[in-house]
């Protein structure tokens, strides 16, 4: 029996997929698997029995990845499962930034008791006039699942799209390898990259200085991708017309010409269901077959359904360990490394000699999946 602990509320569309060999538990110490959305796990004591963590979403900055990798705990995420929800919120952000819809709604609400509100609204509406997005240029930094969907949607709305992604080269999106080119021509700039040392505060005073005057910047990815002090100054100076942000904090809420939403990017019923389904499918595939797909701590290794009597999942930290593993268990081994961490699946007719795998230099965890 595999114990599953839900650290957040997880859509039943996902948990209902857990078969009779799984049970939901209420104590994290009993967990073989943890399903999580946004709750932080950095201060959480990880039980020795924990095999996997599945994030029902894309970002994993709430999970101690290195600690998990060192303990052979596979961390999964659900890339692309919430892409449409985020895409739609970005589109809404662009429209809200172009047209002062919020200002107009607030004016109506403030004048709700005025019997002449309809007539006076005709005079007041000019202060909320805006611009259209059709014909404008959208710069997209990061053309993964969200960025690509956004590019296609923006083109359908009559926008010109220019994309930047050093890891992708798409034939059906106009791409540039030069961020300065994107900055120079974009009326809107939206960012969709993970938070890494190289991307932290990449939107800063220097980057903003290379953008068009009156640019609209949208950040529905990670708050720390933008230097908030530099953005506040650019907004005050009028260099940036609007900053649309999905991360509420005292700094963003105090900025002028900023619309802040409370981390609503993936907050749709459909997105939560899609993420839960993907997370559960990844976990059950790993628990039952040892396959790793969409992990952020270990490489993708997929050998399908076991065809032999014994299947082992082998974790290692040494690049030449795979050949040594093959010498012990035979040639039916598939393995790879992700950074400093390796994982291999070995299928055999019978168990290897006792202790032989444990003696392989670099091997630090062995899991019997079937046998």
pLDDT at 353: 87
DSSP assignment, residue 167? T
Q: Which fold has domain 301-371?
A: Alpha-Beta Plaits (3.30.70)
Mean pLDDT over residues 107-117, rounded?
A: 95
Residues in the chain: 371
Q: Where are the domains of the chain?
A: 1-82+267-297, 84-97+131-260, 301-371
Query: What is d(CA 335, CA 179) in angstroms, rounded to the nearest whole number?
Result: 36
Bridge partners (DSSP) of residue 64 are none
Please determine, for residue 143, whether its predicted confidence score (pLDDT) is greater than 90. Answer: yes
H/E stretch holding 280 reads helix 269-289
Question: 317 and 72 in contact (C-beta within 8 Å)?
Answer: no
- 311 pLDDT more than 90: yes
User: What is residue 356's predicted lDDT score, i.e. its pLDDT?
Assistant: 92
Using 50, 70 and 90 to split pLDDT, how confident is the model at 371? low
Mean pLDDT of the region 71-93: 96
Query: For position 251, what pLDDT does the model report?
Result: 94
Mean confidence (pLDDT) of the chain: 95
Model-level pTM? Answer: 0.84
Instruction: Specify whether domain 1-82+267-297 bears CATH 3.50.50.60.
Output: no
Q: What is the mean pLDDT of residues 88-109?
A: 96
Kindly indicate the confidence band of residue 59, based on its pLDDT and cuts at 50, 70 and 90.
confident
Q: What is the mean pLDDT of residues 5-18?
A: 96
CA angle 46, 358, 283 (to 5 degrees): 40
**Cα separation of 241 and 273, whole Å?**
36
For domain 84-97+131-260, the CATH superfamily is NAD(P)-binding Rossmann-like Domain (3.40.50.720)
Q: Which of 11, 245, 215 lies closest to 131 in space, CA to CA?
A: 215
CA–CA distance, 346 with 359 (Å, rounded to integer): 16
Q: How far, in whole angstroms, is CA 46 from its chain's centroid?
A: 22
Percent of the chain having pLDDT more than 90?
94
Q: Is 148 helix (H, G, I), strand (E, B) or coil?
A: helix
pLDDT 10s digits, 236-292: 999 999 999 999 999 999 999 999 999 999 899 999 999 999 999 999 999 999 999
Decide whether 1-82+267-297 matches 84-97+131-260 in CATH topology.
yes
**How far is it, in rounded angstroms, from Cα 359 to Cα 116?**
86
């Amino acid at each position: 029996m595999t114990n599953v602990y839900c650290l957040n509320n997880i859509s039943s569309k996902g948990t209902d997929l857990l078969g009779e060999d799984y049970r939901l538990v209420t104590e994290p110490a009993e967990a073989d698997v943890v399903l999580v959305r946004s709750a932080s796990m950095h201060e959480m004591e990880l039980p020795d029995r924990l095999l996997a963590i599945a994030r029902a979403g894309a970002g994993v900055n709430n999970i101690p990845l290195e600690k998990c990798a060192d303990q052979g705990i596979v961390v999964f995420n659900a890339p692309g499962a919430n892409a449409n929800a985020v895409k739609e919120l970005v589109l809404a952000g662009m429209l809200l930034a172009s047209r002062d819809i919020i200002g107009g709604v607030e004016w109506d609400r403030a004048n709700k008791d005025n019997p002449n509100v309809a007539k006076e609204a005709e005079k007041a509406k000019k202060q909320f006039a805006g611009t259209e997005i059709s014909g404008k240029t959208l710069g997209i930094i990061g053309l993964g699942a969200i960025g690509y969907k956004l590019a296609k949607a923006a083109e359908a709305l009559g926008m010109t799209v220019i994309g930047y992604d050093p890891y992708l080269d798409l034939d059906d999106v106009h791409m540039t390898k030069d961020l300065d080119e994107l900055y120079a021509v974009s009326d809107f700039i939206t960012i969709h990259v993970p938070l890494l040392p190289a991307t932290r505060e990449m939107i800063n005073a220097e980057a903003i200085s290379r953008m068009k005057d009156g640019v609209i910047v949208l950040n529905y990815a990670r708050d720390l991708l933008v230097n908030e002090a530099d953005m506040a100054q650019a907004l005050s100076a009028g260099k940036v017309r609007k900053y649309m942000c999905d991360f509420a904090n005292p700094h963003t809420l105090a900025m002028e010409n900023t619309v802040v939403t409370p981390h609503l990017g993936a907050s749709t019923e459909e997105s939560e269901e899609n993420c839960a389904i993907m997370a559960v499918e990844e976990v059950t595939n790993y628990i039952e077959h040892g396959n790793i797909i969409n992990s952020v701590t270990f490489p993708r290794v997929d050998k399908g359904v076991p065809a032999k009597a014994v299947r082992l999942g082998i974790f290692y930290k040494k690049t030449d360990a795979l050949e040594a593993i093959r010498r012990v268990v035979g040639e039916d081994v598939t393995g790879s490394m992700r950074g400093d961490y390796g994982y291999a699946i070995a299928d055999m007719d019978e168990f290897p000699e006792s202790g032989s795998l444990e003696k392989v230099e670099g091997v630090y965890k062995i899991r019997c999946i079937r046998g």
